[in-house]
Amino acid sequence: MSSMKYGSVQEEETLWLPFLKKSLEQKHANYNEEIRMLRTPFTSPGYHTTIKEAEYVHPIRESLDYALVILDCGEKQYEDRAIEIVRNILSLQDQQPDSPTFGIWSWYWEEPLAKMSPPDWNWADFIGKRLLQVLIRHGNRLPADLQQLTSQAICNSCEAIIKRNVGPDYTNISIMGAFVTLIAGEWLENRSYFDYGMERLKRLYDYSMQTGAFLEYNSPAYSTVAILELSALVTYSQTEEAKRLANELLDATWLMVAEHFHPLLKQWSGPHARSYNTLLAPSHLSFLQMACRGEISFMRDEHFVYGMDWYVQGVVCPRHLYGLFTNIGVRELRQDLPPYHEFRTRTAYTYMTPEFSLGTFNHNVMWNQCRNLLGYVHTGDEEHSYIQLRVLHDGYDFCTAVYTSQQEQASVLYGIQFALDGGDTHVNLDPIHGRMTASDLRIRIEIGSSGKVPAWKQIGEDTFQTLLGKTMLSVKALYGAMDGFSKFRWEIVEDGSIMGLDYILYEGDPAEIDFHAMEEALFLFALTLSEPSDCSGIGTAVTSSEHAVQASLETPEQAVTLTLTKKPAERVVLFHS
């Protein structure tokens, strides 16, 4: 089967071949001839893998990317290496139909599926997509038996994807699974895979276009993935309906990205539903520069890095959005997210000026991938700081903490409550059921700076201020109570370029904390960004009743109010009480 769209995209993207070859050249030295995979430094998100310490590992996904790029670049001297990598990776798939992990791979050669906790079913999607592209772009260069083995492995991936059947709320995997099944259905002439892929794409479209946004809203990591996957669908599919749905989703995604990009700060304004780096990584700026065909400069040329999985995906930013990437005045954005069983009414709000941006969700959990209150501030020539709210249990972001806020332009009123059905370090993988042991529990306003570390100044008992460039950041504690714990206090913690303004809830010997036994566990704060001349403080009022606390915040525009219940409860209750 051939594709007119794929052929034209391949021709258009030859301009990126020199950059792809440069990325490839840096990988050759890390190839392990004996294992027949690429070696990379070990990093861990803290879940799925049970590997705790290792200098290097041999990842399956990155190794397959390496093989595909060798073939894309026509590197004849390494072609046998690429074929051996593909053959090796196929052998690492669980190919036993009666196995509970049939159709998927582990992350690393060092760690078989049986040792993962739990195995990552996303690898059916990630690896299946890459194998499809090997087959479509280079199938005629594979030995006949390897073509057959690759086709079978893709079918196994499709079976795993269909069995798992993720919903449209898991945005990037919903798209990627639609790509694998729909394109496999077309290229391998399997009607059941094609029908499933089309139905899955339609479900995603219907769900997301209720509000015009993905549930994984404004995520630098996953918006990029979504653009890649949707662009690939348009590029590789033969089906006009699939192309139409993917193109409409692409238009909505590109608009969201462009509206949130701050041209002067070169940052992706919050809030972020999921994020791995608070400051925008060079790879994301490179992606935007590539998508704009190099016509907009997002970074110095020596910092541009072409991603190994970007080639021949058909990624193009609509030209009419270029102005949002180059000009900044005042922007005020408000976006409802699609309903979810816990977050039925989640809304994102962003306020941007030439000097700063500030964004919040109205409610969310405090997972380390969530940026629920996030600001970026210009602090000098090519210097900037970020402002991020965190809740830390023994130094790591605490998922049982629930965040709620109201924002009006540069002013935010926010509260922290605690769920009885939350997790510790992960939303779902390590539930604590409302009980835990802690040596340290704190609420932090974290500032990370590319230049000089700012200095906090205490104003009265409960207010702190710091000057970030031409912008004054003020933070005020309004209310705090947690049964069995008292004497809450502020502490300033500095670690290199990062400074934390910490509100200490508990610090000491390991203590049992049982939120089920508490009638009250609630903390309320106010945060504002303003002109340095406005040092008058934050005008607030607090009223406490038997079961709830109401706080109000005076802003130049209008008063903001927030009412929260005192008693810990399940997440869905806290979000909608």
pLDDT per residue over 414-433, tens digit each?
999 999 999 999 988 899 99
Distance CA 367, CA 398 (A): 6
CA angle 441, 447, 451 (to 5 degrees): 150
Low-confidence winner among 2-6, 31-35, 339-343, 505-509 (lowest mean pLDDT) = 2-6
Lowest mean pLDDT among 44-48, 200-204, 258-262, 541-545: 44-48
What ranges make up the beta strands (E) of 425-495? 435-449, 457-459, 463-468, 471-482, 489-495
Full domain range(s) for residue 80:
1-164
Give the number of C-alpha atoms closer than 13 A to the C-alpha of residue 90, restricted to the C-beta side: 22
In a domain, 149, yes or no: yes
- Domain assignment present for 203: no
Residue 537, pLDDT score = 65
Mean pLDDT of the chain: 94
Number of structural domains, the chain?
2
Q: What percent of the chain has pLDDT over 90?
A: 88
In a domain, 568, yes or no: yes
Query: Could you tell me which of 52, 24, 32, 57 has the C-alpha nearest to residue 42?
Result: 57
The pLDDT score that the predictor gives to residue 2 is 46
Sole residue written with tokens 């000097």: 355
Q: Is the pLDDT of residue 524 over 50?
A: yes
Q: Please, which pLDDT band fits residue 577 given cuts at 50, 70 and 90?
A: confident
pLDDT at position 72, please?
95
- Which residue, of 164, 187, 209, is where some domain finishes? 164
The pLDDT of residue 342 is 79
Domain-ending residue, one of 149, 164, 179: 164
Domain at 535, CATH number:
2.70.98
In this structure, is residue 184 part of a structural domain?
no
- Residue 266 forms part of a structural domain: no
Within-domain flag for 416: yes
The tokens for 31 are 């190839």
CA distance 357 to 330: 9
Distance (Å, whole) CA 440 – CA 442: 7
- Which pair of structure tokens corresponds to residue 14? 């030859």
Residue 103 resides in a domain? yes
The region, left, alpha or beta by phi > 0 then psi within -120 to 50, assigned to residue 190 is beta
- Say whether pTM exceeds 0.85: yes
Cβ contact 111:49 at 8 Å: yes
Nearest to 567 by CA among 437, 415, 418: 418
- Among residues 121, 143, 164, which one ends one of the domains? 164
